[in-house]
Amino acid sequence: MQTKTILEKLFPNNLEYRIEHSMIRGSADTKLGRVEIIGTVDSAAMNQLIAMTLANEILDVIAKGQKTPIVFIVDTMGQDSSRADELLCLNRTFAHLASCVDLLRRSAHPNIAIVLGEAVSGGFLSYGLMANQVFAMQSSQVKVMDLNAMSRVTKIPLDKLKSLSQTSAIFAPGVENYYAMGAVDDIWKELNEHLVENALESQLMHIDDFLIDDRRQVAEERKGRLLCNEIVESVLMA
Write out pLDDT tens, residues 83-93: 888 888 889 99
Does 219 fall in a domain? no
pTM, rounded to two decimals:
0.93
Q: How many domains does the chain have?
A: 1
76 within domain boundaries? yes
- pLDDT band with cut points at 50, 70 and 90 for residue 44: very high
> For residue 224, is it within any domain?
no
pLDDT at 1: 62
Tell me what the mean pLDDT of segment 10-26 comes to: 97
Reported as a pLDDT band with limits 50, 70 and 90, residue 69 is very high
First to last CA, the chain: 50
What's the pLDDT score for residue 82? Answer: 84
Q: What is the mean pLDDT of the chain?
A: 93
Tell me how far CA of residue 179 lies from CA of 97, 170, 237, in angstroms.
24, 11, 29
Whether residue 226 is contained in a domain is answered as no
pLDDT at 94 over 90: yes
Per-residue pLDDT, averaged over 80-102, amounts to 90
Domain span holding position 35: 3-211
User: Cα(79)–Cα(216) distance, rounded to whole angstroms?
Assistant: 25
CA distance linking residue 119 with residue 144, whole number of Å: 8
Is 20 part of a structural domain of the chain?
A: yes
Whole-number Å distance between alpha carbons of 55 and 51: 6
Q: What is the pLDDT of residue 208?
A: 93
pLDDT (tens digit per residue) in 134-168 = 999 999 999 877 788 888 988 999 999 889 888 88
Q: What is the pLDDT of residues 110-138, one digit of tens each?
A: 999 999 999 998 899 999 999 999 999 99
Q: What pLDDT, on the 0 to 100 scale, is given for residue 34?
A: 97
Is 180 a residue whose pLDDT tops 80? yes
Residue 33 predicted with pLDDT over 90: yes
Supply the CATH number for residue 142's domain: 3.90.226.10
Model confidence band, residue 226 (pLDDT cutoffs 50, 70, 90)? confident
Residue 237 lies in a domain: no
